[in-house]
Amino acid sequence: MAGRPPEVDHVKKTFFKEIQAAEDLVAKILQFKGGINPVGTVGIHPKHVRQVVELAFMGVVASWEEFLEMALVRYVAGAKTGTGYRPTPKFGRATSIEHAYQVLSNNPKFNPRKDYLKVTDPNWVTSQADFLFSAHGFGNVKIKGPLLGHASSIRNRVAHSSEKCRADFKATAIHFLMPATGALKQGYGPGDLLVTPVSRHFGQPAIQSQSTHFSAFAELYKSLADTIVP
């Protein structure tokens, strides 16, 4: 006999807290983006300011992926929001969160401590949701898949300096900035892009408010979370 379905509201609440903490950190560190070095004190180099922004963004992307996984797994196990919403299952629900992991991974021996779901791939997330539910809130994840892919490229460049990560980030930065020369300035990195106001791809409200790429991605994640856990 199946037990009580797991809850899901706290998953979004925790995710939003993580985003808010990252936004607060970035807002504070950007107060020093011009550098600070008064006589007799240790200054904050602009490079270090950008590094803090990069690390904050890494945290946001990781929190988004954790949110996706936790929400999807719980819905497969029958979770519903406090307002009574839940996706409409095609085949019934899993008997537990452990069983939900097995269903999603198609692996009866799935171990969350060492195995992974492919939540970094928006197409995988939506294909799983399409297969398991006749109605669900994950559709916008696929629609926004290209933007989410660029976010992953930024995160990966922060974490790694491989040729692939460098090339992927360069393509992402050029996609967003469209520099007249078709090239980035020497040493241009993720932190530079994240603190630059958006000029395309995020919609007119973000452009008109001069939101940075960091802020625009944070708002994107929050809007997607609201459709997944309404």
Tens of pLDDT along 138-162?
A: 999 999 999 999 999 999 999 999 9
Q: Residue 188 pLDDT more than 80?
A: yes
Q: Domain total for the chain?
A: 2
Residue 107 lies in a domain: yes
Please identify, among 120, 139, 158, the residue that sits at the C-terminal boundary of a domain: 139
Cα–chain center distance at 186: 27
* Statement to judge: residues 103 and 149 lie in one domain: no
* Statement to judge: residues 77 and 104 lie in one domain: yes
Residue 173 lies in a domain: yes
* Statement to judge: residues 93 and 202 lie in one domain: no
Given a contact cutoff of 8 angstroms between Cβ atoms, the answer to whether 201 and 143 are in contact is no
Given a contact cutoff of 8 angstroms between Cβ atoms, the answer to whether 134 and 43 are in contact is no
Rounded CA-CA distance 53/32 in Å is 12
* Statement to judge: residues 58 and 158 lie in one domain: no
Mean pLDDT of 118-129: 96
* Statement to judge: residues 119 and 209 lie in one domain: no
Helices (H), the chain: 9-29, 46-76, 97-105, 122-132, 139-143, 145-159, 163-177, 190-194, 204-208, 213-228
- Please enumerate in sequence order all residues whose Cβ is within 8 A of that of 24, keeping only pairs 6 or more positions apart, or say none: none
Q: Which residues are paired to 88 by β-bridges?
A: 135
Please identify, among 88, 110, 139, the residue that sits at the C-terminal boundary of a domain: 139
What is the predicted pLDDT for the residue at 44?
Answer: 78
Residue 112 — pLDDT band, cuts 50, 70, 90?
A: confident
* Statement to judge: residues 38 and 84 lie in one domain: yes
- Please enumerate in sequence order all residues whose Cβ is within 8 A of that of 161, keeping only pairs 6 or more positions apart, or say none: none
Half-sphere exposure of 193 (CA within 13 A, CB side): 28
What is the predicted pLDDT for the residue at 45?
Answer: 82
What is the predicted pLDDT for the residue at 5?
Answer: 83
Q: Is 23 exposed, middle or buried (0-12, 13-18, 19+ CB in 10 A)?
A: middle
* Statement to judge: residues 153 and 114 lie in one domain: no
Residue 3 lies in a domain: no
Residue 110 lies in a domain: yes
Residue 19 lies in a domain: yes
Q: Which two tokens stand for residue 71?
A: 């929400």
* Statement to judge: residues 163 and 61 lie in one domain: no
Residue 99 lies in a domain: yes
* Statement to judge: residues 179 and 123 lie in one domain: no
Residue 59 lies in a domain: yes
Residue 86 lies in a domain: yes
Per residue in 164-184, pLDDT tens?
A: 999 999 999 999 999 999 899
Mean pLDDT of 212-218: 98
* Statement to judge: residues 42 and 153 lie in one domain: no
In the chain, the amino acid numbered 14 is: T
Per residue in 24-64, pLDDT tens?
A: 999 999 887 555 555 545 557 888 899 999 999 999 999 99
Quote the percentage of the chain above a pLDDT of 90.
88
Given a contact cutoff of 8 angstroms between Cβ atoms, the answer to whether 34 and 94 are in contact is no
User: Which residues constitute the domain of residue 92?
Assistant: 9-139
Q: Residue 212 pLDDT more than 80?
A: yes
- 3-state class (DSSP) for residue 133: strand
What is the predicted pLDDT for the residue at 3?
Answer: 63
Please identify, among 99, 122, 139, the residue that sits at the C-terminal boundary of a domain: 139
Q: Which residues are paired to 133 by β-bridges?
A: 89
* Statement to judge: residues 105 and 193 lie in one domain: no
- 3-state class (DSSP) for residue 42: coil
Per residue in 189-200, pLDDT tens?
A: 999 999 999 999
Which candidate, 77, 85, 79, places its Cα nearest to that of 112?
77
Q: Which residues are paired to 36 by β-bridges?
A: 44
Per residue in 6-17, pLDDT tens?
A: 999 999 999 999
* Statement to judge: residues 153 and 100 lie in one domain: no
pTM of the model: 0.92
